[in-house]
Structure 1
Amino acid sequence: MASVTVLITGATSGIGLSLFEEYVNAGHQVIACGRNKEKLSTLSQRGAQVCAFDVTVPQSIKQNTESIGELDLLILNAGDCIYIDDVMKFDGQSFANVIGTNLTSIGWLLQYLLPKVKRGGQVVLVSSSATILPFPRSEAYGASKAGLDYLANSLRLDIAKYGIDVTLVHPGFVKTPLTDKNDFPMPFLLTSEQAAKRMFKGIQSRKKYLHFPKRLTLLLKLFSYLPAVVWQSIILRNHTT
């Protein structure tokens, strides 16, 4: 594979950091984006171009990405997860914050970065296998990722005439700072390095839809065909509410 220029959001931790390692080790030019300037400084010492901004602040995105040149690959990976712990005291602010970080920000990122993607390039949107079936306490996270799924599939239709591919990614449970706070079983848990290797390979193959580990995602898809009372009882049995 010829060297490409790839921009990765959320590159300072979790899957984003492991993706950074994959692309740098493969000899590609990486633009690492995140909020943590100290961690970005460390990445810059690895030869990466770094870009510090908060994805929820449109003006910051605009100012800090203006100097970025053409991109072969745009990986929009940054995200957050906040659970609705007491549904009868629904936290509207937390809901809005998650939607803002995981979904609304993508619109701003596309506004400022999509014009930089070359013909023949690729856009990667990192969603979640949580959109296959609903999970308890995931009203905010699940809604944001379900919206991202629709955005990716709609974007693919409109952007095809520009010769740009869209890859939608549904990771399963991956050990990251976000999932470290989970208090429920996470079957088939992967390391961020394992997830990044799967993504690197799938992105390189220009897959439209990438989901892993398949022993989890296919199981969830199977559950979705069962009567609701069956899969709901299975999920509730394995989650703290």
Structure 2
Amino acid sequence: MSKITGRCIWITGASSGLGRALAEQLAHAGNYVIVSARSQAALAQLAAQYPGKIKVLPIDLGRGLDLSEAASKLREITDYLDMVICAAGICEYEDNLSFNPQMYERTFDINFFGVVRTLNIALPLLKNAQLRPQFAVVSSLSTCVGFPRAEAYGASKAALNYFMRSLRTDLSHIPMDLSLIRPGFIATQLVKNNDFPMPFMMSAADASEYIIKKLQKRQFAIDFPKRLSWPLELWGFFSGPWYKWIAPKLTRIHDWPQFR
């Protein structure tokens, strides 16, 4: 069981999948967990399972969010945060190279700007943390190399990676720990309709348990499973062979797209 206990933790994307598993395990370990997501009904059901341990913060982190109002709602629940975990995310694929800007905007809005909005709201309360605060985000191992159809999703996660690395530099003199979580395939609704091989699939519960162990160690880079991350990082280092031999076998695009 997690050694993270007695903390006030805010988790976004907590209505299902990895975010929900993190909320359940951390609440069970004796933490006070604040949960946010788009599905308010799912959050209410989650809070009912852990009375007194899980509190719902009913906000949608999309572009319509009123930051001041969201900050006020959070302060009605707590005046400090020890940890924030950004687990909200969506995935849409570039199936025919249509480059629909709206699809890219939707993906970046949640995967990247949702994290920026979360930090904007949470930072004043992280400064009041009872313990050394932590801010963690869920990215993806897909950022190691360029995967087919993943132009929008991978780019949003790659932006998140750079954001966290740059933030790590600017916080080097400030007592707050950061964690960049890059999992492989996790059995959630996000990958349910994927029609391609997903090696080394993990359950949300197992992935959550692994993440919590690494967060306890205040580790910045949390890449897993290693049997997937190591080969991908190696291919990322030797990117020439990846794009010459591997990527052409993966793509479904073999001719110019139809332009309007």
Q: TM-score range by the shorter chain?
A: over 0.9
The answer to whether the aligner puts 1:193 opposite 2:199 as a matched pair is: no
Change (3 A) 1:175 1:240: farther
1:1-150 → structure 2 map (5 Å cutoff): 1=3, 2-45=5-48, 46-47=50-51, 48-56=54-62, 57-59=64-66, 61-67=70-76, 68-87=78-97, 89-117=98-126, 118=129, 120-150=132-162
Letter in 1 for 2:57: C
Once superposed, what is the RMSD of the aligned Cα atoms? 1.7
SS at match of 2:9: strand
2:231 to 216, 219, 233: 219
Letter in 1 for 2:153: Y
Identity %: 33
Q: Which moved more, 1:218-227 or 1:165-174?
A: 218-227
Q: Could you tell me how far apart the structure 2 residues matched to 1:14 and 1:24 are?
A: 16
Which structure carries more strand by proportion?
1
Q: Could you tell me how far apart the structure 2 residues matched to 1:158 and 1:40 are?
A: 34
Residue pair 2:37, 2:59 contacting (<8 A) in 1 also: yes
Q: Could you tell me how far apart the structure 1 residues matched to 2:209 and 2:74 are?
A: 27
Letter in 2 for 1:58: L
TM-score of the superposed pair, with normalisation by structure 2: 0.87
Larger Rg: 2
Point out where structure 1 has 5 or more consecutive residues left out of the alignment. none
Point out where structure 2 has 5 or more consecutive residues left out of the alignment. 254-260
Q: Could you tell me how far apart the structure 1 residues matched to 2:207 and 2:233 are?
A: 20
CA shift digits 1:198-241 (9 cap, x unpaired): 10100011001101000000010111233524455324434655
Q: Which moved more, 1:51-60 or 1:160-169?
A: 51-60
CA shift digits 1:105-130 (9 cap, x unpaired): 22211111111112611000111111
Count of aligned pairs: 240
CA shift digits 1:15-74 (9 cap, x unpaired): 001101110111111111112111111122112111111111331634532423201111
1:161 to 145, 165, 173: 173
Residue pair 1:223, 1:231 contacting (<8 A) in 2 also: no
Residue pair 1:55, 1:61 contacting (<8 A) in 2 also: no
Q: Could you tell me how far apart the structure 1 residues matched to 2:72 and 2:40 are?
A: 16
Residue pair 2:59, 2:65 contacting (<8 A) in 1 also: no
